[in-house]
Amino acid sequence: MNVSLTSPLDMHLHVRQDSMLRVVAPLSAEHFAGAVIMPNLLPPVDHLERLLWYTEEVRSAVGTATFEPYMTLFFRDYTEQELEAAKPHLLGIKLYPAGATTNSEAGVQHISAMDHVFRIMQDLDIPLLVHGETHGFVMDREREFCEVYKHLATTYPRLRITMEHITTQDSVQLLDRFENLFATVTAHHLVITLDDVVGGLMNPHLFCKPIAKRPEDRDALLQAALAAHPKIMLGSDSAPHPVSSKECPGCAAGVFTAPILLPLLAELFAQHGALDRLQDFVSSNAQRIYRVTPPHKVVTLQDVPMTIPPMYDTVVPMWAGRTLGWSVTAVH
C-alpha cells in the first residue's frame, strides 16, 4: 500500500535558532513543501527587521531544499504603519498569553486592551494565530479560552483566526459555530492522552503545552482529522529541546515530531481507512484557508517499516526507538 502527498505543509513549526535551527530545519524541509514558522525566539521576532533576518536564517538552514518558510510576527501593540510594512513578508501574527508556554513571557497580558491591533489586522487581512490557554487549572485552560475565541470571532468577523494546536472537544465544536475560526491539530494529540505522559513513569518527551487531554478529547480531534474537516489542518507544534532540558527537573514543554510526521500520519490514517483524506489534512485545507500556493513537492509513503532514531543531534524525537509501519520512500 502507498500514498503520494502533494506539497505537504506543516502549519505550526518551531525551528528555534543558531545550532538548533541548523539541526531541525532540514528535517522538516526534507518532507514538507513549507511550514509556518513560530516567532517565540529570545528575543521574540516582533519587528520587521528581525522578521527579515529570521527568514534568511531559516532559508540558509534548509539550503537547496524545496521549502517555503511562512513567517509570523510575535503579537504586540503594533501600529498600522508597522503592519502595512510587514504584511508582504508574513503569513500572520502569533498571539501568546504572557507566560503560557516556551519563551512567551513577552506575550499579551490583557487581550481586551489590544482591540486597535485586532481591528488593524482585520482591515489589512492579516490572520491571527492564537495559543489559546488561560492561566487556570491546567486541564481547563483551553476550554476556558473558548470564551475568548467566541469574543474575538464575533467582534472581528472578518479577521481570520486560527486556534493553534487544539486539544479538546470544546475547540472542535467551535469550528462549526464561527465562520472565521480555523484550527491546527498536532500529530501527537491525535494519538496520545495525558495517561501516556504521566500515567506510569513520566515521559518527558511527550510533555507539551497544551498538555495532552482525555481519551474523548483525542478521539474528537481524530474524528475531525480523519473526516477531512475543512477547517482543520496539520500544525505539528514540533518543538525541539536538547535532551538536557527534557530529562531534568523543570522539564521543558515540547514534543519533537518533525522527522516522523508523515509516516506517523500515514500509518494512522491507513489504520482507519482514511488515506484518501490525508492530503486534505496535510495540505489542501491549509492552502485554501491561508490562500497560499506552496512549492510543488510530491512525497510518497509506503507501508514499509521505519525505526525512529534514538536522537537527532541533541534532540530526542517522540517514540524514539519505536518502529512505525510506514516510511517515506520517495520525494520529488
**Tell me, which fold does domain 9-295 have in CATH?**
TIM Barrel (3.20.20)
Find out whether 61 and 26 touch, Cβ atoms under 8 Å: yes
**pLDDT confidence of residue 5:** 98
Q: Where are the domains of the chain?
A: 9-295
Q: Nine-digit cell at 244? A: 538536557
Q: What is the pTM of this model?
A: 0.97
Give the start-end residues of each E strand in 126-190: 128-130, 161-163, 181-185
- Selecting among 46, 217, 237, 280, the annotated active-site residue is 237
Find out whether 283 and 9 touch, Cβ atoms under 8 Å: yes
**pLDDT confidence of residue 22:** 98
Provide the residue-wise pLDDT of the chain in tens; the chain has 332 residues: 999 999 999 999 999 999 999 999 999 999 999 999 999 999 999 999 999 999 999 999 999 999 999 999 999 999 999 999 999 999 999 999 988 888 878 888 889 899 999 999 999 999 999 999 999 999 999 999 999 999 999 999 999 999 999 999 999 999 999 999 999 999 999 999 999 999 999 999 999 999 999 999 999 999 999 999 999 999 999 999 999 999 999 999 999 999 999 999 999 999 999 999 999 999 999 999 999 999 999 999 999 999 999 999 999 999 999 999 999 999 99
Helices (H) and strands (E) in the chain, counts: 12, 13
Q: Which residues contact 270 (CB under 8 A, 6 or more apart)?
A: 1, 3, 303, 325, 326
- For the chain, the first-to-last Cα distance in angstroms comes to 19
Residue 153 CB coordination number (10 Å): 18
Interatomic CA distance for residues 208 and 196, integer angstroms? 12
In order, the DSSP letters of 297-314 are -EEEEES--EEPPS-BTT
Measured CA to CA in angstroms, residue 220 lies from 169, 189, 257 at distances of 6, 10, 21
Annotated catalytic, 276? no
Interatomic CA distance for residues 290 and 70, integer angstroms? 10
